[in-house]
Amino acid sequence: MKDEFNVEVIKDRLRKYLRHSEGSCGMYHQILALLSEYGCKVVSKEIPEGAISRIIDQDGNILGEGADITWPPATLRAMIDGEIIPEPWKSELKEVLTSEEDIKRVKEIFGFGRIVRPSATAISKVSSEGGKVFTERDRIGVTVAFYDKNDRKIAEARNIFCPACAAVIAASRDLELRDYIKEQLKNEPNTGKMKWERGIENVFRWDNFCVTASIWEGEKKLAENWGCCTAYAIVRTEVVAGLVGSKVGKVLKFYCDQCPVKSIWFGKAMGAMGNIVLKRLSETGLKAEIGYERFLTVTVKDDSQIIGKGYGSLCALSGTINMLFRSKGIEVIKPSPAKDFPIIKEKKDA
């Protein structure tokens, strides 16, 4: 029997659990984990603007509803709408939600909750022309900025939910990038659009240290699977349901096969761990450059020397933690001197 749902109890527990270092993505998954403990679930549907999410308690009541460019920020908006998050985190997390203007611009590019493909398209174009794309921690969210080969800033999106969201928002703000993405993707199938046309719903919760997702068409469950974050769980479930092509499935399987994190799982969402690494990089002045080589890539340099490079499946945050595990951690993290360590008195050995 689940504990009785009580918003004030939830808030008290969140005051103890939420950590700024885990960023908006990590904090969102922590809230999802706690709500799931009380028997809640999320029902999310793709819409032209992105996704709309509803939080449902164990009695079937709607606790909150929200729409954003893809599932996680839409669900975070529903959490805020339901008055589930205590201050000061509520006010801070509201800042990472996508503005109405940006939602409209992202919708014009591809829409229906699909942000990785347009993000990758923009990153590939800028990189192929000699430019660079950087991401860094920015308050509770992240910033992504595009630069051309002459180091002129093309576009930027600050304090956004995650790097993939920030990249597509930044790209949508530049007319040339926006038109290029639309042209490149105009004939590509959009799985989110197909699901919207069929009325398919995504149902997910945090369970056993990961996100478990199922996909429903009316009363029929098409598939169920799990993943290290909300987006990865839903896309893996789409693969099981046969809603995406085998090429996507093979790419994601290859990524999962070589992921160095999964076999020593920490019980935290990948976004939480990636955010902590990205925060430290920003503190030490190291830049994380985003690229695309079949997967999203994250490259960290000290001056011009590469000290770390990792790969992400659907998000640069997973690429950030992947980068750390593939690198010499002490060079990337640059550990600070120990705080509050006891004074070591000189003493002769016995």
What is the average per-residue pLDDT within 334-342? 90
Does 61 map to a domain? Answer: yes
> Does the pTM of the predicted model rise above 0.75?
yes
Helix (H, G, I), strand (E, B) or coil at 244: coil
Of 234, 225, 318, which is closest to residue 269 (Cα–Cα)? Answer: 318
* Close Cβ partners of 174 (under 8 Å, ≥ 6 residues apart): 146, 154, 155
Whether the bond between 73 and the residue before it is cis, its omega within 30 degrees of 0, is no
Residue 313 and residue 230 in contact, taking contact as beta carbons nearer than 8 Å: no
Could you tell me if 286 and 300 are in contact, meaning their C-beta atoms sit under 8 angstroms apart? Answer: yes
* Within-domain flag for 62: yes
User: What is the Cα Rg of the chain in Å?
Assistant: 20
d(CA 53, CA 56): 10
The answer to whether residue 298 sits within a structural domain is no
H or E stretch covering 322: helix 316-325
Residue 276, in any domain of the structure: no
Q: Closest Cα to residue 317, out of 135, 119, 46?
A: 135
Is 41 a member of any domain? yes
* Count of residues making up the chain: 350
Q: Does 343 fall in a domain?
A: no
Enclosing domain of residue 60: 7-96+189-244
Identify the pLDDT of residue 1. Answer: 45
Any domain includes 143: no
Which tokens go with 304? 């011009």
First to last CA, the chain: 59
CA distance 48 to 42: 19
- Give residue 349's pLDDT band: very low, low, confident or very high (50, 70, 90): low
The domain total for the chain is 1
Which segments within 172-256 are labelled E, that is strand? 200-207, 210-217, 220-227
User: Over the stretch 79-110, which tens digit does the pLDDT of each residue have?
Assistant: 999 999 999 999 999 999 999 999 999 999 99
Closest CA to 130 of 150, 154, 156: 150
Give domain status of residue 193, yes or no: yes
Q: Mind listing the pLDDT tens digit for each residue in 26-79?
A: 999 999 999 999 999 999 999 999 999 999 999 999 999 999 999 999 999 999
Question: What pLDDT does 2 receive?
Answer: 59
